[in-house]
Structure 1
Amino acid sequence: MKSTIVKVVIGLLLVIGGFMAGTAWNNRLATKVNQEADERQSNAIEVNLRTEDPNPNGTPDLDEMEEQLNPEEVHTIRLFENASPSVCFITTSTVRRDFWTKNTMEIPSGTGSGFVWSKQGHIITNYHVIKGANRAQVTLSDQSTWDAVLVGAAPEKDLAVLRIEAPASELVPIPRGTSRNLKVGQSVYAIGNPFGLDHTLTTGIVSALGREIKSDSGTPIRDVIQCDAAINPGNSGGPLLDSSGRLIGVNTAIYSPSGASAGIGFSIPVDVVNWVVPELIAYGKVKRPSLGFNWAENHIALRLGLKGALVWSVDENSNAERAGIQPTYRDRYGRIQLGDVIVEINGQKISTGDDLLLELEKYDPGDAVSLVLVRDNKAYELELELESPK
């Protein structure tokens, strides 16, 4: 009997001891986890502080460090310090309504980059950055955030102009250069917000010139700059700079099967930006002179096996109507009768409607142009005065 009681007591002691040991283990484990969590939080706070203040008190400035750096490094650092105040971070959101509750909610839809164009608060970015968004916000280099309104957009150029009501003292317009005399091999610098990491600098060279990419509307953008500076999602709309820190392009696209940088990036040349942006600020869109007629979309002409711009309709009382240009129409038997096909303008061959659209950018209302058109398999040439856009 006594032995049985002793065994029971020993068993209870073992159970209690195991429970206490388990409790102590769990407490030590919980303490360790909490310590690791606190450490991670501390590290995160430290990282955030460093991000907000990259040059805290006590850190040597560039003048003090210059002896430790080579001239190229000093040049790059100074370029970034001078240009980064002009670069901004753009976030967009869309408004959705719940089907059941009818409540509306704001959902983040994307991020991108941009840069200050003027002291009046104009911000330049890519059209595809703000496409479909109900709201856009611009964060400047001082971390102040401003609601933006859309001033104008050119989907065919993948450019858009926003405006913020920030004080002029907080706006640093970016210096602008030219893209007409660029050379393959010259240094370029891209500043942007890849993956939301604001004010990231990457460097490279001009890899090629005269490239062509498709815009968001499907219209080709020509004379595009190709570079090997790392451009990732979020860089769109940011500036491409030359070695003097002047704007030479707007980063717009990458070529990559994976969606990340593969060393092939594309930028809209600044010479295009320089004439498109004033149009967007003044009119909200690019205003090209009118030929007095509309042409069919490319896929229609392609399906019909036509090379050129197929005249779809002619404006009433236009110079094109007076010149006798024939539109596409349906005859009394219901058959489609194709209109004239424009194959040349002022000596420039026209293969698609996009070619004709891009050629019109070279002219102003009132200019006379020579058109070559095909009608019933015969070529005709006529003079036409361009009109103001409607």
Structure 2
Amino acid sequence: MLAQPWIQQQFYSATTPRAIEPRGDLAEWERTTIAIFDRVSPSVVQVAGRAGGDTFAGADPDEQNGGAQTGTGFVWDAAGHIVTNNHVVQGATEIAVRLANGDVARAQVTGLAPNYDLAVLRISGVRTLPPPIPIGSSADLKVGQAAFAIGNPFGLDQSLTTGVISALKRRLPTTTGREISNVIQTDAAINPGNSGGPLLDSAGRLIGVNTAIFSPSGSNAGIGFAVPVDTVNRVVPALIKSGRVPTPGIGIVAAPESVGTRLGVEGLVVVRTVPGSPADRAGLRGVDRTSGVVGDVIVACNDTPIRRLVDLSDVLEQVGVGNRIELTVLRGGGTTKLSLEVVDIGGRTP
């Protein structure tokens, strides 16, 4: 018994490298995850912008202070267009993009869409441009299916996180006061620096652009949000073509939803119409400023029930500028139908 510790030390100590144990084949889900990262990560970039200042320290986009703001983006097309979030580059006077291979290029803003928190940049002079990320669809997504996010959380580039789609059809407010509809919720870890990066399905296709998190601490709490790819695939080409996205509207000022609730009506109370707008020409009636009597209450648009302003905005976006809609309004105890043209209001009232 006294000799046992000495015997173990002398005869059983591993004084040479141990033999490697064969692990066998990777699991199917591991092979899928690895394949997605290998295929897509070269097309994911780091975006850095500086607001003001004489020089740009963007040669190292990891810089997080001194006025620098960083995020993620990804290659959209062979012309060098990069998609990211509007809030990543908002207010930046100089922008740089670092590719996965380490190349750094200056970027110019092609177009901004604050209503959707999307921005398109363009880089040039890059030796080899990575391929665009394949585009998927957000219309047929299911809660529970796998989701993969690639980005640069806290400046740690080329980070992959995995999870599932936690919920669909969320609404996300923007800095413009409008809401992004059909937003994807995921529990794939999204942290500061992931903004503007791709959310992917198990086929490696783009299904969303990561844009925000819900977190009291400011770090990942398992609730992240992404702009759906069907919205991205409509907005980005418009930004590339003209630098802006048409804002469909009919020219009304609407009361908050609480006003309708207080009045006991389920619909959108029209406060007033913009002179010369489609709503004005169609005879839509607002609140009587003298008596305070409520005028028209919009209850449906193209037979879709309307309860809030965002409901109307959703239908107008689906219809598109230049087309016509049919409003159902409550007026004088009855219902009236009005036909209106949808126009580009350019960020003014809906």
Provide the TM-score with structure 2 as the length reference: 0.79
Mark the CA change 1:66 to 1:136 in structure 2 (over 3 Å): closer, same or farther: farther
Which residue is 1:295 aligned to?
253
Indicate yes or no: 2:270 matched with 1:310. Answer: yes
Higher mean alpha-carbon deviation, 230-239 vs 132-141, is at: 132-141
Equivalent of 1:149, from 108, 112, 120?
108
Mark the CA change 1:301 to 1:200 in structure 2 (over 3 Å): closer, same or farther: same
Where do residues 90-239 of structure 1 align in structure 2 (5 Å cutoff)?
90-95=47-52, 107-167=66-126, 169-239=128-198
RMSD over aligned Cα, in angstroms?
Answer: 3.0
* Cα deviation code 1:303-342 (max 9, x no counterpart): 98685152533342x54333222356866xxx87766443
Mark the CA change 1:210 to 1:108 in structure 2 (over 3 Å): closer, same or farther: same
* Cα shift at 1:175: 0.9
The aligned amino acid for 2:272 is W
Question: In structure 1, what is the Cα distance between the partners aligned to 2:76 and 2:66?
Answer: 28
Equivalent of 1:75, from 12, 32, 50?
32
In structure 1, runs of 5+ residues without a counterpart are: 1-64, 98-105
Which residue is 2:318 aligned to?
362
Mark the CA change 1:373 to 1:255 in structure 2 (over 3 Å): closer, same or farther: same
* Cα deviation code 1:116-146 (max 9, x no counterpart): 1011111111112122222221111111112
* Cα shift at 1:281: 1.6
Mark the CA change 1:127 to 1:365 in structure 2 (over 3 Å): closer, same or farther: closer
The total of aligned residue pairs comes to 313
Task: Specify the SS of the correspondent of 1:361.
Answer: helix
Which residue is 2:215 aligned to?
256
Look at both structures and tell me which one has the larger radius of gyration over its CA atoms.
1
Task: Specify the SS of the correspondent of 1:362.
Answer: helix
Question: In structure 2, what is the Cα distance between the partners aligned to 1:238 and 1:385?
Answer: 36
Question: In structure 2, what is the Cα distance between the partners aligned to 1:353 and 1:386?
Answer: 15
Question: In structure 1, what is the Cα distance between the partners aligned to 2:74 and 2:23?
Answer: 29
Contact 1:95-1:107 at 8 Å conserved across structures: no
Identity of aligned residues (%): 46
Which residue is 1:384 aligned to?
340
* Cα shift at 1:68: 5.8
Question: In structure 1, what is the Cα distance between the partners aligned to 2:177 and 2:138?
Answer: 23
| Structure with more helix by fraction | 1
Question: In structure 1, what is the Cα distance between the partners aligned to 2:344 and 2:295?
Answer: 23
Question: In structure 2, what is the Cα distance between the partners aligned to 1:329 and 1:155?
Answer: 33
Contact 1:368-1:385 at 8 Å conserved across structures: yes
Provide the TM-score with structure 1 as the length reference: 0.71
Question: In structure 2, what is the Cα distance between the partners aligned to 1:357 and 1:378?
Answer: 24
* Cα shift at 1:70: 3.4
Contact 1:153-1:160 at 8 Å conserved across structures: yes
* Cα shift at 1:387: 4.1
